[in-house]
């Protein structure tokens, strides 16, 4: 897969628990032209019929890889020159709209309740945040996935910000 695409865009979903959220993420991934989705085998909902239905074909038309060791997989992506960017609200994160997301990229989003696991976060080359203007501090993982992926698409179409 990595040899087929000059600038791959990979979505990594770390421990998503809800099949509706997984399906919505897969739908956005396909709509954004993601080359592959990576999901841990453990601590993540499987690609159920519900997820497939919610994805509106995204689960069928986007390669999905379930991996045993997500940290090792992220290391392998980095060895192939892919930048690993995670979403987080921790200090030191960059505003999504100010980061250059035009190169080979693996975008990591975490579970609904806890976000990205600590070890996964340590494997990220950069951490991104979606700026929030209202009372709520974060978006649903499927909404955040769409926001992040389509910012990548926008940047790739018009060039880096």
- Tally the C-alpha atoms within 13 A of residue 115's C-alpha that lie toward its C-beta: 15
What kind of fold does domain 9-158 have according to CATH?
Alpha/beta knot (3.40.1280)
Q: What is the pLDDT of residues 55-70, one digit of tens each?
A: 999 999 999 999 999 9
Spatial strand order of the sheet with 64-67 comes to 64-67, 36-40, 9-14, 105-110, 83-87, 126-129, 94-95
Q: What is the pLDDT of residues 110-148, one digit of tens each?
A: 998 889 999 999 999 999 999 999 998 889 999 999 999
Q: Where are the domains of the chain?
A: 9-158
Q: What is the pLDDT of residues 69-86, one digit of tens each?
A: 999 999 999 999 999 999
Are 98 and 126 in contact, with CB atoms under 8 Å apart? no
pTM of the model: 0.94
């Amino acid at each position: 897969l990595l040899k087929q695409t000059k600038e791959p865009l990979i979505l990594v979903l770390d421990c998503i628990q809800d099949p509706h959220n997984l399906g919505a993420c897969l739908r956005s991934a396909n709509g954004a032209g993601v080359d592959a989705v990576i999901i841990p085998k453990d601590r993540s909902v499987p690609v159920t019929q519900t997820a497939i239905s919610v994805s509106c074909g995204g689960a069928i038309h986007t390669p999905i890889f379930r991996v045993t060791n997500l940290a090792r997989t992220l290391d392998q992506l980095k060895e192939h020159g892919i930048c690993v960017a995670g979403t987080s609200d921790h200090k030191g994160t960059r505003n999504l709209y100010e980061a250059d997301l035009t190169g080979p990229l693996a975008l990591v989003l975490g579970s609904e309740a806890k976000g990205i696991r600590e070890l996964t976060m340590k494997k990220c080359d950069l951490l991104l945040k979606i700026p929030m203007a209202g009372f709520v501090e974060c978006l649903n993982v499927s909404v955040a996935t769409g926001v992040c992926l389509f910012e990548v698409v926008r940047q790739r179409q018009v060039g880096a910000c």
